[in-house]
Structure 1
Amino acid sequence: MRYRLDVVAPTVLDAVQFAGGWIYDRVMAGWDVTVLVGRDEDLRPLQILGARTLELDTVLDSWELRAHPQTVAVAADLFGRDDRVRRGVLGALDQGATEVTLWGATLPAELGGSLDAVEHRLSAAARAFKAQALGAARGGAGVTIGPTEVFCSGMMASVAADLVPAS
């Protein structure tokens, strides 16, 4: 059985920009990584990272029927504007068996006490592949990628050692 990460993003660019290195590193560690995005997007940047994709609305309409992943990563703005995402995140936190990770500038106030800042240190390969994916998503090259990606997580211990408390 392989670990599974589901990434819920409003756009391909958002997923690549905020979690692309983590997506790549988890794929290379043997995880099944699926990014849920809109149907009318160029999926090539996510393919560069090795992720599979599914259409966001289709999956959200049947979220309860989908097997629970070990980790779900969600754009914080989607939590605030899509009740299906909100219910899924709150359900995963209540269940306690799924690591819930969010990214974005404005985190939902109702989750403030249950989330801790964590970071993922990107491998050298993740930085290179994220740069290529980000260039493809933006239609250009020459993108500089930082050494870490920062998230807020709903579990104190990650199911993998790649998310550590942010200092």
Structure 2
Amino acid sequence: MPIYHHPTPIGTAVITEQDGYITAISVNGDDQPTNIDAPNQTLLTAIEQLDEYFAGKRLVFDLPLKPEGTRFQQEVWQHLQTIPFGSTVTYTQQSRQMQQPLAIRAIAAANGKNKLWIVIPCHRVIGSGGELTGYAGEIWRKKWLLEHEAKIAGVGQLSLLL
């Protein structure tokens, strides 16, 4: 299972590939470990698309993804991919859009198990009062990503509560 470390404006992206699919992308601290092997074509494509995203040139990812999770988690992650670039929804809105209004906590928990950060945009889900909650990559990264997308999408600065 090839793993590649790639610098980004918010820290080092750790990208995992298996059998031609991207299975995980997370962002760690700013230390970039040395990559032992050159990235394969799937990893190169992921790196290129992440670079384009951070440069403001990519709004939608087109990668072969294979997230591992339950059927319910898969449904939640598929829904996350329908949230437009530069937009946010609340956990309550997400549960209603998924026609599961009583499953807010289960949906939030599934969001938290997303291993394909940025590409499956769980950062676009916020608390009902506009607060930034529930991001495994630390709240400051979630805020950075949302402000980056708002700027690129031309919606100005999002009004975010901490």
CA radius of gyration, larger in? 2
Q: Which has the higher contact order (CA 8 A, sep 6+)?
A: 1
TM-based fold match above 0.5: no
TM-score (norm 2): 0.27
TM-score (norm 1): 0.27
Structure showing the higher strand proportion among its residues: 1
